[in-house]
A = this chain, B = another copy of it.
C-alpha cells in the first residue's frame, strides 16, 4: 500500500504504517531535559493536525477520540522536532511541555516507577522522580 520496504525505509515520502486500529505509536520527550514524558498514539487525523499546527494531538484508545494534549489541563505540548522511524510505525516528538507535567496522575512524566533488574518473580517497582507536580483533580475538573 505504502510502497516497498526500501521506499518506506530510505525514501522521503511520509507513508505511516498505521496498525489495524489505524494508529501509530508516539513517543514524546522533553526537548530541554531529553526525558521521556509519555507514550501515546496518533491516528491519521491527529498526525496531520500535529504536523500542520506544531502542537501535539493524539488519539485516545480508551475514549476512542481525537484529543489535543492540554485541551482540558492547559498542558499543551509544542513540538520542537518530529521524526519518524525506519518502518514508519512510530513517531518521536521532542516537545516543550507547557505547565507542570504531562502525566494525568499529576507528574512531569508517566515513567515515575523503575523496574529493578535481576528479579525473577513478583517483581516490585520502585518510585523514581515520582513527586507530584500538580493536583490532577484540580487540573482536570476545573472546567
Contact = CB atoms under 8 A, between A and B. Distances in A.
Interface residues of A, number: 51
Contact of A85 (B38, B119, B120): B38
A111 interface: yes
A34 B34 CA distance: 6
Q: How many copies does the complex hold?
A: 2
A83 B114 contact: yes
A10, A92, A124 — which one has the most chain B CB atoms within 10 A of its CB?
A92
Q: Which of A115, A124, A126: most chain B Cβ within 10 A? A: A115
A67 to B, nearest CB: 16
A117 B82 contact: yes
A119 B14 CA distance: 11
A12 B124 contact: yes
B85 A111 contact: yes
Nearest to A107: B86
B12 A119 contact: no
B125 A111 contact: no
A128 interface: yes
Contacts of A38: 85
A2 interface: no
Interface in A1-46: 9-14, 25, 27, 29, 34-36, 38-39
A6 to B, nearest CB: 10
